[in-house]
Structure 1
Amino acid sequence: MARSELHSRRVEAVRAWTSFVERGDGAERLVRPEILSSWARSEAAISPDVTQAPLADEGETAEIWRGSPLQTAVQRVEAELRRTAEDGDLVVAVTDADTRILWTYGGRVMRRKAETVNFVPGGRWDDQSVGTNALDLANRLATPAMVFSAEHYAPIVHNWVCWAAPVHDPVSGRKLGVIDLSTTWDRTHPIGLATARVMAALIETAMPRSSHHPTFGGSDDHDEPGLVMTLLGTVETRLDGQRLLLNRRQTEVLALLAMHPEGLSLEHLHALVYGDQAVTLSTLKAEVSHLRAALGGQLSSRPYRLMMPVHTDVDHVLSLLRGGHVGAAVEAYGGDLLPGTNSPALGELADYVAVALREALLADPQPDAVVRYIELAPYDTEVIEVCLAALGNRPHPAVPLLKGRLAVARA
């Protein structure tokens, strides 16, 4: 961006912040909904005059870091993280799931700036501790986030721009924390958010194998904060561990919002839900209003967007497949996505997941995974035949089961 354009953008951000802090209104037309929501949370918890982030206990922070799979992953890619920080004069930070910084590295200039505001290990950067920032938004919304200049609630970082992306266990899908890249506002670059995404993916690929264990669908998920949706086979939605009673259409709307963390306009959401059906926009608005009430108001408008962490078994299965964990993906796959849905978008997604799983098995026909798969797709003889061919004459407990199912399917 040209410096003049950046300066104008900064002036607009300061004007919006001033309107909110001094008058309490007028900012809703000037900033993004997620920024406004975070400002409201920040205002209720802290003074804008905060001078630095609070620090957690140093020993406790060090212990959490030592026991985290993030430590191993960061050590494996530390050279790349340091190079990124030095080349762009950035400060790079990795947090835990509570937005407490566990590790940082900074270029010469940004390192000093970071230290003055406790952007260091132990610093608590949730928005109720230090105000609106990208680390908190990425962690809270489970999607990459950018906060520019006075979009931060605390003036101590009005001279910063920050890009952050969540980091998940690539198998279980469990959120581990976020990675953040920060520099001065005048060094804003369109590639910043994409770089944060790449760095998050780099850390995820470097996770120790011992941390890879599927948990989605287990009893622990009932305690998972935020929204947890089971859409494959059995359908269930829980918010902060409590089951939500939703009708089918509301579940479809919520699923589409979960699949589009960037948000959807009313018209786009209508097309995804109803296709060319003759259903009014008012009908969809009524469904969204019910969902907003059920979610405690954590659904913004213009665009419609979920304002909380979201976990779905669909994302979990696709993440497993991307990581090459075919057996775990089959185990996590409960069946067709929302069977019988007449939403064109969800129908396409259902086909995509089913075909992706099948193709992964054809490429890597693990016998135990195929046995599990044919419980869900008993007449998919090609997968059975490919698996038997791969086994050849080797003995395996799955062979009689596969041959029996093949005989039944051909009868």
Structure 2
Amino acid sequence: MDASTAASLSASRTAHERFITSPGTAPGTRGLVAESWRRCAQCAVRPDGSRLPPLLRTTEELRAYRTAHPLAAALPMLREVLGTGAADDGHVFAVGDADGTLLWVEGDTRAVGRAERMHFVAGAAWSERQAGTNAPGTALELGRAVQIVTGEHYSAAVHGWSCAAAPVRDPRTGRVVGVVDLSGGPTIATPPALAAVRAAALAAEAELARLRTPQGDPMRLYALGRDSVLLECAGRMHRLSPRHSEIVLALALAGHGATGERLAVDLSEREVPASTLRAELTRLRAVLGPELLGSRPYALLRPVRTDFGDVAELLAEGRVAEALAHYAGPLLPRSDAPAIVEQRRCLEQQLRGAVLASRDARLLRRWVDAGWGGDDAPAWSALAHTLPGGSPQRAAAAARARALGLENGVVPQARRHAAVLQRPRS
């Protein structure tokens, strides 16, 4: 802790002591804190910390209440956005309802243990009326994000903590449905902590909007053997640019949406400036419309079916011939986006392995006759072994295998075959 921070924290404690001894006066205190203290004094909250926030719900009541609460659906996303970092940094992450009752309190084990001693636990009431000035309660009181540091808390029991919290609103009605909070040591008394809870609240609102969006017609993506994606929805066909094709496929692969940082990693091995990515997503939203593309996190807002997903499902069911018939070529073959390259390689390996294992001459012939299988030496050898002895076709297949470097069934260094295309369709 630097000298200026220490001086500020000391001043806040001094101001608190003066307010207690001379009610109504709070010199040197931030306006929102002084106003909160006055509200707490009127509600007869004890400033000495002798009365901790009450536990309002039993374990069974809390379990049922949490299951039915709107923020339960956003909890996995909130844990990813805020909870993991809190645990790693020695902090506590909490989600509460619109009345200030804490629903989930998680994070660093030692910090959670300290929080329990002051009743900062699931089921406890942390509204201003019950707990005094604190980030979750004051954020709900004011309807905006706030930060409360050490001595700014009305109850002396919380003077060892700093916290930042932001309300979460129902995206349809604008009414507050809950609050997200970070609590911990001096690093919570910083602008990044306040920005983090604001971002988490916005992400929760976006998740609620996504989950409540009428599903309607599903999207259909065609991306096998193509330079760009065709997106079909509600009878309309969108032919996307190569970059927009990569973004849409990355979101389809992400499933429940992705943050800008995650999307940037999925799209390029090089750093993608946040401003560049936002601009691309803005242009894509103009093409698709806000009913199809959401933000915070970025997500496709309709159920998605894909041609490569169909192939994977057929393979999982052991229907190799049908999978090969549906395989129009490698997934977006000219893309070097890491997420797409990985999916392309995985699907090719699964399909090729199934074809070779089938020992079916018809399937092997279709594989080696395709642009992506023409240089697949093991496939030519497998085809030769499935054909009748003395057959001219067997001799031709064996000759092709030898020409590609396969001698007596021993495979030399493997050739890359999957990305070879005759003529990718646009």
Q: Give TM-score, length-normalised by structure 1.
A: 0.49
Q: Which has the higher contact order (CA 8 A, sep 6+)?
A: 1
TM-score normalized by structure 2? 0.48
